[in-house]
Chain A
Amino acid sequence: MFDIDLWREIFQSINKNRTRSLMSGFTVAFAILLFAILFGIANGLKNTFKEAFGTDANNSIVIRSGKTTKAYKGNQVGKRIQFKNEDRDFILDKYGDKVQYFTSKVNKNVNASFRGEKNSYSVVGVYPEYQFIENNEIKDGRYINQLDIENRTKVVVIGRVVEEELFYKVNPIGKYINLGGIPYKIVGVFTDDEGDSEESVIYMPISTTQFIYGNNDFVDMMHLTYDPELNADQALTFGNAITRSLKEKFDVARNDQRAIRIFNMAEGAKKVDLMTTSLTVIILVIGFGTLIAGVVGISNIMIFVVKERTKEIGIRKALGATPRSIISIILIESIIITTISGYIGLLIGVGVLELIGPSLEVYFIKNPGVSNSLVFGATLTLIIAGGIAGYVPAKKASEIKPIVALRND
């Protein structure tokens, strides 16, 4: 296949017939340009969706409690439902196989100070698993661990914003932060890509929080992530099952909407999934449409080219060109034009996206762009497309009879 003379022949043919080559190249370049821009914008829309949901595990379920609104089993309306440590075991015993991470939480608001710097933050007592539910990155030190839970250690992990506000030019690790009069040792600093509010939090072992703020085993809420293998419908069913079990356990009426409340991300995730899926499908359909239009375009032009070159092909055949060499010439010419012009179209498309990308953010299009794998895939598609586009004309060319081609008229 790699025959320098063949390539010389092809480049000569492309070069000597510039208008024709440019025209066919333009068709493909334009198709790919549209494809790239379309794809980029779709990606931008998806990015916006994704960001709206952040990197919080989007398979999470939050369970809160409140007061009953319905009288049930001899209990009056207005009974306060209080979760305790044992409810964690209750759920894990029953649904452990479907739970990925689980934590109970205790929330407090405290005034924190360090060497004269003061501010108020929310302190959350959690289990070590919470790091994975929130998708926090440890910037320095470590997160809360099981030993902290067992020993009720007075340690905390602080958010990046807390560090910036209280620890000016001081490494907080190992320092003691004063929370409502009690000193806690800082063992880690975390970051969260969902913004400042998520980073102005202080985490503490839940056992410590419970011991210090009430010496009880009360839990404010429970937060879990379910097995990511579950699809949206299964996840919704799972959430409902938990609600039902808890309502039974706490003697809450089935139709009581306030006493036990569950927030299941699957509801939103389902909608987002549907949205992104349909978006992807639309983009793919339109994208392939444009691509096919480009392929048909170049195929048309190549058929025209073959017609125009009928005589030349006849001459070549009379001089000893085999059908195969004729096919090679037409096919490779088609592939070269498609690939080069397609790539140019792709580059322009990516360039345009880079250029106008930032100004599109107001239209909910964030970071529009095409991935490397898409560029690679598109290049491959182009080569294949060029091959398909060129094949029919090439075959036609190889079947030209020299006597027909060489007729004097």
Chain B
Amino acid sequence: MLKINQIHKSYKIGDSSLHVLKGIDLSVEEGEMVAIMGSSGSGKSTLLNIIGMLDEADEGEYILDGLAIKDLTEKKAAVYRNKFLGFIFQSFNLINYKNALENVALPLYYQGLKRKERLEKASFHLEKVGLSAWGHHLPKELSGGQKQRVAIARALAANPKLLLADEPTGALDTKTSHEIMAFIQHLNDEGKTILMVTHEEDIANMCKRIVRLRDGVIIEDAKVNQVRAEQYV
């Protein structure tokens, strides 16, 4: 599904350069649910950004679903992101002047779907996250958990191969976090491959595999017994 080989990335800070990723090897199979853990500065977000094609590695190989991701032009990256990836962010990143339904429909707009089709698909996904009644509400009228569910519906709308979540529960209280995690686990049960960055141990334990990063290298990569989130809800 996803394979990266010897990924290196450094950032220039003034005259010196900061070596953030120092040769990462990672391979993720279809249907996996992987947590990438590490303290801040460990490089976990950089790794996620490279996988999400929001950033490009200096060195190394990245193969997604059999397709080598390299020499990305802005346009090509945009098309790949739209086709292969769904993003879930800590701060939801909904467009504040668009209602829930329109937010969910946005990736479909960039896929070139007709408006009617877009809205149909979007309301289907919104129903899936249990918010069909909230379709015409603006983000500011929704609670944090609802916003994240809209964001998840949006990430799913384009039917991506890989779901990338950057601290998806970072801005939520424990109860809502568990609700969201339960939901993400459901998606995984249905076969979606999920990659998430987190620094919370209990959230990581709700995944099936934990990859720990420190100072730009993987120090541990182990399968874990998944803790089901439903039990806390």
CB distance from B79 to the nearest CB of A (A): 7
Task: Please report the total number of A residues contacting B with Cβ < 8 Å.
Answer: 28
A16: contacting residue among B49, B74, B89, B97, CB under 8 A: B97
Contact between B107 and A319 (Cβ–Cβ < 8 Å)?
yes
| Residue A402 interfacial (CB < 8 Å) | yes
With an 8 A cutoff between CB atoms, is A356 at the interface? no
A398 neighbours in B (Cβ, 8 Å): 74
Q: Are A406 and B95 within 8 A (Cβ)?
A: no
Closest Cβ neighbor of B48 among chain A residues: A403
In Å, the complex CA distance between A314 and B110 comes to: 14
Which B residue sits closest to A13, measured CB to CB?
Answer: B97
Chain A residue at smallest Cβ distance from B83: A320
| A142 to B83 Cα, complex, angstroms | 82
Closest to B158 in A: A320
A249: CB under 8 A from chain B?
no
Indicate which residue in B75, B81, B90, B97 contacts A319 across the interface (CB closer than 8 Å).
Answer: B81
Q: Which residues of B contact A315 (CB under 8 A)?
A: 93-95
Tell me whether A318 and B110 are in contact in the complex, defined as CB-CB below 8 angstroms, given that A12-B97, A323-B78 are known contacts: no
The 0/1 profile, CB within 8 Å of B marked 1, for residues 298-339 of chain A is 000000000000011011111111111100000000000000
Chain B residues lying within 8 Å of A401, measured Cβ to Cβ, are 54-55
Residue A408 lies at the interface, judged by CB distance under 8 Å to chain B: yes
Write out the residue numbers on chain B whose beta carbons fall within 8 Å of the beta carbon of A318: 52, 54, 81, 87, 93
- Specify which chain B residues have a CB less than 8 angstroms from the CB of A323 in the assembled complex: 74-75, 78
Distance between Cα atoms of A325 and B78 in the complex (Å): 11
By beta carbon, the residue of chain B nearest A311 is: B93
Q: Are A320 and B54 in contact (CB under 8 A)?
A: no
Contact, CB under 8 Å: B49 / A319: no
Chain B window 217-228, contacts with chain A (Cβ cutoff 8 Å), 1 for yes, 0 for no: 000000000000
A171 at the interface (CB under 8 A from B): no
A17 on the interface (CB 8 Å rule)?
yes
Contact with B along A1-15 (1 / 0, CB 8 A): 000110011001100
Are B74 and A319 in touch, CB under 8 angstroms? no
B residues within 8 A CB of A324?
Answer: 75
| Known interface pairs A319-B81, A319-B110, A320-B82; A5-B54 also in contact (CB < 8 Å) | no
Most chain B CB neighbours (cut-off 10 Å) among A8, A398, A408: A408
Q: Given A318-B87, A319-B87, A319-B107, are A406 and B54 neighbors across the interface (CB < 8 Å)?
A: yes
Given the complex of chains A and B, what is the CA–CA distance between A12 and B98 in angstroms?
8
- Taking CB atoms, residues of chain B closer than 8 Å to A325 are 110
In the assembly, what is the distance between CA of A171 and CA of B82, in Å? 85
Which of these, A312, A320, A403, contacts B79 with CB under 8 Å? A320
Q: Is the CB of A322 within 8 A of B93?
A: no
Q: Identify which of A16, A318, A324 gathers the most chain B CB atoms within 10 Å of its CB.
A: A318
Q: Does B6 contact A (CB under 8 A)?
A: no
- Can you name 30 A-B pairs with beta carbons within 8 Å? A5-B115, A12-B97, A12-B98, A13-B97, A315-B94, A316-B106, A316-B110, A317-B81, A318-B52, A318-B54, A318-B81, A319-B87, A319-B106, A319-B110, A319-B154, A319-B158, A320-B81, A320-B82, A320-B83, A320-B107, A320-B110, A320-B111, A320-B158, A322-B110, A323-B78, A325-B110, A402-B54, A403-B49, A406-B93, A408-B170
Q: A316-B95, A319-B106 are in contact. List 12 more A-B contacts (CB 8 A).
A: A5-B109, A8-B115, A311-B93, A316-B106, A317-B78, A317-B81, A318-B87, A319-B82, A319-B87, A320-B83, A320-B107, A322-B74
Give residues in B with beta carbon < 8 Å to A. Answer: 49, 52, 54-55, 74-75, 78-79, 81-83, 87, 89-91, 93-98, 106-107, 109-111, 115, 154, 158, 170
